[in-house]
Structures are given as structure tokens and as C-alpha cells.
Amino acid sequence: MRCIPKKGSGSTGSLYRYFIASYPLKTERQQGGIFVSNSPANQKSLRSLILASVFSALIIVMTVIPYMGYISYGVIEITTLHIVTALGAVCLGWKYGAIIGGVWGFTSLLRAYMVYPVYLNYGFGNFFVAVLPRIIVGMVAGLLFLLLRKTKLNDIIAAAVSTVVATLTNTTLVLSAMNIWLKFNGGDYSSLYQTFKNILSTVVTINGLTEIIAAVIIVPAVYKAISKILKNSAV
């Protein structure tokens, strides 16, 4: 039997509640009839799927609109998409974080082919360089956040720490994968020591520090707002 909230409730998020309560989440047969099971687990799954879709769509939109997902000035480029990926991971868990990171990676790959073909010289037309590191970034953010929460660490601090580690993971894996790709494709490549120096110098430059600072400020704040909304909209 479908559960419909009373009309005229006037409460905040009533439209969201109506959607969750009215949506047929699970259909089962009983005594020859069909009824809808609206269990809390199914409600949570639907909310997670909706949020993951929103984060994925946001990554796509920010990629195609100039100076949103990638902010370029001269030869330096700052990305903001690691923020969306880390936020999705801490809100939804590492599995959805991996999916959202994968969306980021594939949009980066397509961007190299369609908009900036010069990036193909550095391996960004390759799954190993453009996509796999971003999948791992989402997984790292989600898993670390889960681990830190188990230590009873404050959620805001846990989200901030997870975001910093996810950002550093992106820089480290992308530069390392790029170095390996160049090595096996006959391009210039550096030693392990030089690769480490390149990673370190990238992190401490303006773009590296900007990415970290922006992520640390935005992710915990938005996570707090989203988690509060989800808690208040539970039915």
C-alpha cells in the first residue's frame, strides 16, 4: 500500500518527502496482489542514486562551461572537479565516490580529444592517465572519511582531512601515470626522484595550494548542509 503524506503539511522539504513517499521503490507479490514496499533502506538507496546523478551531472556541466571545472591562466590550470568528487565520496561513500570520479575521468579524457588535443601528448587520451587516477581519488576520499568517522573524529574535520588526501592523491597519481605513459611511448621521462620533485613542486605552487584550500573550505561546509537536509528529509 502506498504511503502518501498528508496535504497541507507546509513543512520544509515536503515536496522531497512527497516524492520519496510516492515513488514505488520495490514491488512484491502477496496473495495474488501487488503492493509497494517503502522501506528505509530503499529510501536511502534512492536518495543516494539521486545525489550521485546530481554530482555526475554537475561534473559534466562544469567541464563544458569555461572557467568552472577548469580555470586556466597562461600555462597554469586549476581544477575544481576534485571538490565535487570528494564531496560525493564523503556524502555517499567510496562506491559512489568511485563512480563520480570515473565520470570526472571520462570527461577529462573527452576534453583532451575534443577541446585540448595538446593534452594527448601527455597521455590524457589514455584511460590509465585520465580516468583511473580519478576513480581512485573518489575511493580514497570515501574510504578515509569512513575510517576517520569510526575513530569518533568530528565529521567536519574528517571531511576536511579526506579532501586534502584526495586532492594530493589526484596530483600524485596523475603525474606518476603521466610519467609512466611518457616512458613507454618514447617521450621524455624522469627518474623516480625527479617525479617526486615534480609532484612536490606542483603541490606547493599556486594552483596546487589553491585546489587544496578551496576543497578544504567548500567540502566540509557543503557536506554539513547536505547531511542536515538528508537527516531532516528522512521519512
Tell me, what CATH number does 173's domain have? 1.10.1760.20
11 and 68 co-located in one domain: no
* Inside any domain, residue 95: yes
97 and 133 co-located in one domain: yes
182 and 103 co-located in one domain: yes
Q: Which of 145-159, 168-182, 206-220 has the highest mean pLDDT?
A: 145-159
pLDDT at 130 over 90: yes
Containing domain of residue 12, as a range?
Answer: 1-38
pLDDT at 101 over 90: yes
- The x, y and z cell numbers of residue 95, run together, are 562506491
Of 171, 162, 173, residue with least CA distance to 219: 162
11 and 102 co-located in one domain: no
* Inside any domain, residue 43: no
pLDDT at 230 over 80: no
* Inside any domain, residue 208: yes
* Inside any domain, residue 210: yes
* Inside any domain, residue 133: yes
State which amino acid sits at residue 204.
V
pLDDT at 226 over 60: yes
130 and 160 co-located in one domain: yes
1 and 90 co-located in one domain: no
The domain total for the chain is 2
Confidence of residue 83 (pLDDT cuts 50, 70, 90): very high
184 and 83 co-located in one domain: yes
* Inside any domain, residue 134: yes
Does 133 or 192 have the greater pLDDT score?
Answer: 133
6 and 112 co-located in one domain: no
Does 18 or 131 have the greater pLDDT score?
Answer: 131
Q: How many CB atoms lie within 10 A of CB 155?
A: 15
- Among the listed ranges 11-15, 96-100, 150-154, 200-204, which one has the minimum average pLDDT value? 11-15
189 and 89 co-located in one domain: yes
108 and 20 co-located in one domain: no
Helix (H), strand (E) counts: the chain: 9, 4
| pLDDT at residue number 118 | 84
34 and 55 co-located in one domain: no
Q: Any residues with CB less than 8 A from the CB of 73 and at least 6 apart, and which?
A: none
Whole-angstrom distance, CA of residue 157 vs CA of residue 164: 11
Does 187 or 133 have the greater pLDDT score?
Answer: 133
Q: Report, as an integer, the average pLDDT of 148-164.
A: 94
* Inside any domain, residue 6: yes
pLDDT, the chain, mean: 81
115 and 199 co-located in one domain: yes
Please state the pTM of the whole predicted model.
0.78
Q: Tell me, what DSSP letter sits at residue 180?
A: H
| pLDDT at residue number 168 | 92
Q: Report, as an integer, the average pLDDT of 161-169.
A: 95
